[in-house]
Every structure is written in C-alpha cells, then in structure tokens.
Amino acid sequence: MPYKPQLLIGNLRIFNKLTIFLLTLLFLTSCSPKLKKEALVTVTGKIPAAKMGTTLIHEHILVDFIGADSTGYHRWEKPEVVKKVLPFLMEAKQRGVQTLFECTPSYLGRDPLLLKELSEKSGINIVTNTGYYGARDNKFIPKQAFSQSAEEIAKVWINEFKNGIEGSGVFPGFIKISVDRNDILSPMHAKIIKAAAITHKATGLTIVSHTGSDGPAFAQLEVLKNEGVSPEAFVWTHAQDGTFGGYLQAAKQGAWISLDNLNKNNVGKPGGVDWIIELLIKLKTENLLHKILISHDAGWYDPEKVNGGNFRGYTDMFEYLIPPLRKNGFSSKDIDLLLVKNPQRAYSIK
C-alpha cells in the first residue's frame, strides 16, 4: 500500500480534536457546579439531594426554652418524646413528605439520637444542624461563646460537621443561627454570622438564620459579603415578618426567602393561608418563586409541659394551602418548585 502523508496528517488532526474534546469534557465534569453530585447530610447518613423529595424546611420536634445554662438530655425521656411525635411524622409521610429539617439548635433542645430514632421509625429523612441561637437576648448561647472569637466558634461547628455531634455519630446538614430583630447587629450576633460564614466556607453547609424583618436580614447579608460568602448560601428565616420590597431585593441578590409560619389559625396574619396565597401570587408575577421556601415552624414537644404540651402537626400545607393554590392557577410544576426543587437547590452540599 503506497504511503499517503496527507492521510496520516488527516488522521492526526481527527485524533487531536477527539483528544481535546475528551479532555474538555473531563474538565467540565470535574469543575462545573451543574455536573457535580449534590448531597444532603441527614441524621442517618448522606443521601443524594435528588432523593429529598417533598421537603419541609423548617419544623421542630423538641424545643426546650429553659436556657443554655440549664438544658440537657436529662430534661426529657426519649421514649416519651418518640411516642408523642411519631404519629405526627407518619401523618406528614402520608401526605408525601420525604424530608424534614429539624431547626432546633444546640442548647435549645437539639437531640441527635432522638432525631435518628424518629427518622428510622418513620422512614422520613430528618436533617439536624450546627450553630447557635442568638435571639431572645442570647439566652440560648453557651457561656464559653461570649469570650470566644468567631473563628473559635466556627471551629466548634466545623468539628461537628467533620466528626459528628457529641460522639453520637450524627452529623449536621445545615447551619442554624438566630439574631435579634435590630437593624444593627449586636457584637455577639455579628460574631455569630461571621462564624457561620467561616463554617460555610469550610463545609458548604447552608446558613439558615432566624431573622424576621428586613433590617437584620440585610445586615447579615452585608457581613456575609464581606466574608466572601454568596447570598445564595443564606436563608432569610421568618421572612413573613419582612416587606415585599425586601423580598424582591434579597431574592434578586440570590438569598432565599423562607416563609416559616404556615398555620391555618393565623387568619389575616403573616403566615396565614390567605396571606401566603396572596404573597405567592405576587411573587409568581415577579418571577421569583424559584427563591421561595415554605414550612410550618410546627411541633413541638416541650419538656416544661405535661406530656410535652400541645403539638401542632405538619399537614396544614397539604390540606389548606396547596388546594387553594391550584385553584389560583398554580401548576404541579409550581408546587414541585416550592416543595421539591427549591429545597434541593437551597440545602444541598456541592
């Protein structure tokens, strides 16, 4: 067969183009956020974020209001709490709930082994947190945190993420903090949000902050920006106490707007069904549904009360909100966005 140099050159060109294509594909697969696998850390282990399903992003199972200096596992009996709470979780599961974020921080009643037991018995993915709750004038912040720096506090939270909570083998899936409703953050609360920023950069965990009104929301966003953290990593919790203009501004920056007090009994008030429906219609008109999160802030077992006190369940969303939304033109895709897609995007660890 005669030697044909032009054929050899042509083959080399094809080979080089194929090689460049394959190397480019490999680079994109390893570097592109859209192609990275995203995960969620639950109390029973890590799961793919795509398997979160219908998600309630702000609920409680147990809350102890006695204060950081007095709370502890001695304050409740796990079997009694399980007996009280499990039926409410099963009701939620019957409505299609697959994942529930338990937003009780440490020193306020967080119990990782209790949550793990309830997750295993209910079949619902439960996610717990790391962080400190600064609202109510720092009643729930441990004594040592007042003299620690933001870096030292973050070290505690990062350790929980890497090594588990108090030797339980349970790991946090998000950062839960809280600030008072002041336009200017107190030194303690500025330190907490800075610690959350440091922890986020080290772990990828989303920052969920009990905030309320516009002022503290934007004060925290400013701290995060100064620390090099994107607003995409911040959930403005209890945003039902903010303003529509505040929602637009925060959402356009990338922050998540969390409406956390859905309650059929809050007639004519923020968190009431009619109020949320009206707000969601306006947000849909502004094309901002993709930045909205909804939950009940319901529960919870209170150790101070007989048999844990009154427990508000997790089903108002499905019985009183979704049917009227459909009547107001919300499609299944819209509902899926609010309850499935948005939680995946807001809380998954990339």
CATH code, domain carrying 151 = 3.20.20.140
Q: Please, which residues bridge with residue 165 across strands?
A: none
Position 2 confidence tier, pLDDT thresholds 50, 70, 90:
very low
Domain count, the chain: 1
Q: Please check whether residue 16 lies inside any domain of the structure.
A: no
CB-CB contact of 303 with 75 (8 Å): yes
Q: What is the pLDDT of residues 278-315, one digit of tens each?
A: 999 999 999 999 999 999 999 999 999 999 999 999 99
Position 350 confidence tier, pLDDT thresholds 50, 70, 90:
confident
- In the predicted model, is pLDDT for residue 10 greater than 90? no
Q: Please, which residues bridge with residue 54 across strands?
A: 97
CB-CB contact of 194 with 150 (8 Å): yes
Q: Please check whether residue 31 lies inside any domain of the structure.
A: no
**Interval 228-251 mean pLDDT:** 96
What's the domain range around 224? 41-347
Q: Please report the pLDDT score of residue 17 as a whole number.
A: 52
Distance in Å from the first CA to the final CA of the chain: 55
Q: Please check whether residue 1 lies inside any domain of the structure.
A: no
Q: Please check whether residue 262 lies inside any domain of the structure.
A: yes
Mean pLDDT of the chain: 91
Q: Please check whether residue 27 lies inside any domain of the structure.
A: no
Q: Please report the pLDDT score of residue 14 as a whole number.
A: 45
Q: What is the pLDDT of residues 53-110, one digit of tens each?
A: 999 999 999 999 999 999 999 999 999 999 999 999 999 999 999 999 999 999 999 9
Q: Which residues of 106-126 are buried (b: 16+ CB within 10 A; e: fewer)?
A: bbbbbbbebbbbbbeebebbb
Q: Please check whether residue 4 lies inside any domain of the structure.
A: no
Q: Please report the pLDDT score of residue 153 as a whole number.
A: 98
Q: Please report the pLDDT score of residue 270 as a whole number.
A: 87
What is the phi/psi pair of residue 216, to 5°?
-65, -25
Position 269 confidence tier, pLDDT thresholds 50, 70, 90:
confident
Q: Please check whether residue 270 lies inside any domain of the structure.
A: yes
CB-CB contact of 135 with 109 (8 Å): no
Token pair 């969620």: residue: 40
